[in-house]
Structure 1
Amino acid sequence: MELKGITKSYRNGEQELEVLKGIDLTVQEGEFLAIMGPSGSGKSTLMNIIGLLDKATKGSYSLSGQAVEKLNQNQLAHVRNKEIGFVFQQFFLLSKLNAQDNVELPLIYAGVSSSKRHELSQQFLEKVELVDRRKHLPSELSGGQKQRVAIARALVNNPSIILADEPTGALDTKTSNQILELLTQLNHEGKTIIMVTHEPEIADYATRKIVIRDGRITMDTTDSVRID
């Protein structure tokens, strides 16, 4: 993916708040990138633009050779469903669906048959070591188990990119390490991982780090220098 001159502004009454101020970022296939920065720095806004959940005010974004700004809403939804898997801090599992049904949701949107959905959901629940809990509701799972269900859901359409927004923020240290080791394993298998975090010890799992402050990239370990 390649982002050039990305800005993002929000209007609040008569005032315009510029959250991103000219982001240039290239991410190669198979990278494990951590996006760091204090609260309000713009890192989650950048993640939302990368994940096609929001659009930049200005600038260009190319994803797998496609100019994102030229895609309509249906095309954006298709790319999100096929190319990107999302993992969030709060899991966002549907409370009335069991683990297996939650994992199957992206496959329903993709039009996959019922038998194939069952096969794939079990395959990916096995990958995250939760196949024995597939019939449990989210309320019957621990925080770490919920996040592993969310990771299985993110993987089930075989996306090339996993976006993880504070994936361990609601977990204890031991469970956090287990989730990060799973993300590392997925990266070793060829997935591109982009993770938002404000914790240096979490970012250490990534192979590349960028720091955002006041809407600008101020450090990129690819260059091993600060950007003034």
Structure 2
Amino acid sequence: MTANPKTIIKLSQIVKSYQNGDEELQILKGIDLTVEEGEFLAIMGPSGSGKSTLMNMIGLLDHPTSGEYWLNDENVEELNEKEQARVRNEEIGFVFQQFFLLSKLDARQNVELPLVYAGMSAKKRKALAEQYLEKVELEERMHHLPSELSGGQKQRVAIARALVNSPSIILADEPTGALDTKTGEQIMELLTALNQEGKTIIMVTHEPEIADYAKRKIVIRDGEITLDTTDSVRIE
């Protein structure tokens, strides 16, 4: 990270609740979290703890019931749906456990998708997609369909797709969950290299050995942050 890192994410008293009949079910209970540019953060916690809800909130895939979310100095809740969609496409790259590649498009065409939504010309899209497939060492497989790729290769395509718009943040939700151990290690080494280049990476995982790749870990239990290794203390 830089000597004076910029705060790119600030969550203040984020609450997420759902109505379950007459009962209100609180998933997140007043989350405070600050993430600086260049961090590699792992979010951990048991099933049902709220970690995936928190990730969805950061990725603008869900909205808080109350609280404030600032992303790159913008108050997200003050943006309309079109503006939030722009922020999602330009500033956040998503990597999911299940890859979410379109089966009828080859690797290069899958990587091009965010650029299509951004309105980039076909010539520029093609060149950028090829550049990022080279970055993840898949240039020789760019014309293969997802069905012709291994799990690790599919995840590399997904990472290239996440990077192609040069987002400030990569959100990785269980990025090794569908992979064998060796392939998972290769993907984590790639994410580590991207972090060393300056990318901010936020990852949800339930595997301690995967979380160990991150520089900072937070643990969520029952909708609250109970441990943040930035402070190296348990939060009571």
TM-score class normalised by the smaller sequence: over 0.9
Residue segments in structure 2 that go unaligned for 5+ positions in a row:
1-8
Q: Which runs of 5+ in 1 are unaligned?
A: none
Q: Does 1:62 align with 2:31?
A: no
1:85 & 1:204 partners in 2: Cα distance? Answer: 22
* 2:208 maps to 1:200: yes
- Distance in 1 (CA, whole Å) between partners of 2:140 and 2:196 is 25
Q: Tell me if 1:36 matches 2:44.
A: yes
Counterpart among 190, 193, 209 of residue 182 in structure 1: 190
Give, in whole Å, the separation in 1 of the partners of 2:98 and 2:162: 14
- 2:108 matched residue in structure 1: 100
> Per-residue CA shift, 1:128-149, capped at 9, x if unaligned?
0111111111111000000000
Letter in 2 for 1:155: L
Q: Residue 120 of structure 1: CA displacement? A: 0.3
1:105-126, Cα deviation, whole Å (9 max, x unpaired): 0000000000000000000000
The number of residue pairs the alignment matches comes to 228
Give 1:100-179 correspondences, 5 Å limit: 100-179=108-187
Q: Note if 1:86 corresponds to 2:94.
A: yes
Q: Which string of whole-angstrom CA distances, capped at 9 and with x for unpartnered residues, describes residues 1-38 of structure 1?
A: 10000010112233221100010000000000000000
Cα distance in 2 for partners of 1:4, 1:26 equals 9
Structure 2: which amino acid aligns with 1:196? V
Which position in structure 1 is the counterpart of 2:53?
A: 45
Query: Separation in 2 of the partners of 1:100 and 1:207?
Result: 32
What is the TM-score when the length of structure 1 is the normalising length?
0.99
1:189, distance to aligned residue in structure 2 (A) = 0.6
In 2, distance between residues paired with 1:112 and 1:56? 32
Please point out which of 8, 14, 17 is paired with 2:16.
8
Map Cα deviations across residues 136-190 of structure 1 (whole Å, 9 max, x no partner): 1111100000000000000000001000000000000000000000000000111
Matching residue within 218, 226, 231 for 1:218: 226
TM-superposed deviation, 1:78:
0.3
Deviation at 1:74, TM superposition (A): 0.3
What is the distance in 1 between the residues matched to 2:36 and 2:166?
18
| Cα distance in 2, alignment partners of residues 17 and 90 from structure 1 | 28
Mapped to 1, the partners of 2:20 and 2:101 lie a distance apart of 32
Report the equivalent of 2:5. none
Residue identity opposite 1:217 in structure 2:
I
Q: TM-score, with normalisation over the residues of structure 2?
A: 0.96
Amino acid at match of 2:189: E
Matched residues in 2 for 1:209 and 1:184: separation? Answer: 15
- Secondary structure of residue in 1 paired with 2:219: strand
Corresponding residue SS for 1:4: strand
